[in-house]
């Protein structure tokens, strides 16, 4: 089972090194690239003012955030939700930088880059030279983003989940995984039943009459048919 968390944040500004903080986290769970309906969403009191530039982007005011929990109060539950799953993030360096700055304050392990998939980098490889922000990708793939009048972490995570599925091949990408899972399930059941693990060869299903009819058909060719190469060993 492949568990992924599509994640987005909103912040007080653009520079966590200068003390800007996370004020909203939104996460959507995917299993084998399919949304499960499970999500995580919290607003957070950053203990510092929201910059004018950030306010224009997400609309989250100091007054709205004043009575929300501190990051330290939600850090355990957030870390438990994402666990060791792969994180799918657009422009991942920004969000991961902020989250690691928050985790450093609470003493939680940092998010390592090898568990992060950056959809911005993925989009740039797939559509070089084209606009690859979230709105542009929605337009390219016909995803409805009319609700996105301002940035919001959970809404953006939900939209990004749809974009991500399109980036990796569309809504039927789960079919191959489903087949793989089905094969693994069959193998597991055979193992429990004591069935041999090696590949078994099915016996030929042609009758003698069918073989004779096919031989007469091949005899009508002037040159040697290549089909004989496939039936010679039978």
Evaluate whether residue 214 is within a structural domain. yes
Evaluate whether residue 32 is within a structural domain. yes
Our count of domains for the chain comes to 2
**Does one domain contain both 130 and 146?**
yes
Q: Across residues 17-37, what is the average pLDDT?
A: 97
Token readout for 172 is 């039927």
Evaluate whether residue 127 is within a structural domain. yes
Evaluate whether residue 163 is within a structural domain. yes
Evaluate whether residue 110 is within a structural domain. yes
Evaluate whether residue 27 is within a structural domain. yes
Evaluate whether residue 234 is within a structural domain. no
**Does one domain contain both 122 and 181?**
no
**Does one domain contain both 101 and 210?**
no
Chain-centroid distance, C-alpha 182? 20
Confidence (pLDDT) at 222 = 64
**Does one domain contain both 28 and 58?**
yes
Instruction: Using alpha carbons, list the distances in angstroms from residue 187 to 1, 16, 175, 198.
Output: 16, 49, 18, 10
Active site residues: 151
**Does one domain contain both 9 and 87?**
yes
**Domain containing 123 — which CATH number?**
3.30.420.10
At residue 198 the predicted structure's pLDDT band, cuts being 50, 70 and 90, is very low
Helices (H), 59-207: 62-65, 71-82, 92-106, 119-126, 134-141, 153-167, 174-193
**Does one domain contain both 102 and 40?**
yes
Instruction: Using alpha carbons, list the distances in angstroms from residue 44 to 14, 26, 97, 175.
Output: 16, 11, 17, 38
Evaluate whether residue 233 is within a structural domain. no
Instruction: Using alpha carbons, list the distances in angstroms from residue 118 to 83, 86, 95, 185, 221.
Output: 18, 11, 10, 31, 58
Least reliable range by pLDDT among 89-98, 174-183, 220-229: 174-183
**Does one domain contain both 39 and 154?**
yes
**Does one domain contain both 112 and 223?**
no
Q: By three-state DSSP, how is residue 125 classified? A: helix
**Does one domain contain both 139 and 28?**
yes
At residue 217 the predicted structure's pLDDT band, cuts being 50, 70 and 90, is confident
CA separation for the pair 182, 39 (Å, rounded): 27
Neighbouring residues of 171: CB distance < 8 A, sequence distance ≥ 6: 165
Between 232 and 18, residue with greater pLDDT: 18
**Does one domain contain both 75 and 46?**
yes
Confidence (pLDDT) at 197 = 42
CA separation for the pair 77, 32 (Å, rounded): 23
**Does one domain contain both 116 and 219?**
no
Q: How many CA within 13 A on the CB side of residue 124?
A: 8
* 66-77 pLDDT tens trace: 999 999 999 999
- Structural domain harbouring 184: 177-197+204-228
**Does one domain contain both 15 and 122?**
yes
CA separation for the pair 230, 218 (Å, rounded): 13
Query: Residue 29: what are its φ and ψ, rounded to 5°?
Result: -90, 135
Q: Across residues 115-139, what is the average pLDDT?
A: 96
């Amino acid at each position: 089972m492949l568990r992924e968390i599509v994640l987005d944040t909103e912040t007080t500004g653009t520079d966590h090194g200068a003390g800007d903080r996370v004020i909203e986290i939104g996460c959507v769970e995917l299993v084998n690239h399919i949304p499960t309906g499970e999500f995580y969403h919290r607003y957070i009191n950053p203990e510092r003012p929201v910059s004018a530039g950030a306010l224009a982007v997400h609309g989250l005011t100091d007054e709205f955030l004043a009575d929300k929990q501190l990051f330290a109060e939600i850090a355990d539950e957030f870390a438990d939700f994402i666990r060791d799953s792969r994180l799918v993030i657009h422009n991942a360096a920004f969000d991961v930088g902020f989250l690691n700055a928050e985790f450093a304050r609470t003493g939680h392990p940092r998010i390592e880059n090898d568990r992060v998939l950056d959809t911005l980098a993925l989009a740039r490889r797939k559509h070089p030279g084209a606009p690859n922000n979230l709105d542009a990708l929605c337009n390219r793939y016909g995803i409805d983003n009319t609700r996105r009048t301002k940035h919001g972490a959970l809404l953006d995570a939900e939209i990004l989940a749809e974009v991500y599925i399109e980036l990796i091949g569309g809504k039927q990408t789960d079919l191959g995984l489903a087949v793989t899972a089905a094969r693994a399930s069959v193998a597991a059941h055979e193992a429990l039943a004591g069935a041999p693990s090696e590949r078994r060869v099915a016996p030929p299903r042609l009758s003698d009459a069918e073989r004779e009819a096919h031989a007469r058909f091949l005899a009508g060719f002037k040159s040697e048919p290549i089909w004989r190469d496939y039936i010679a060993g039978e």
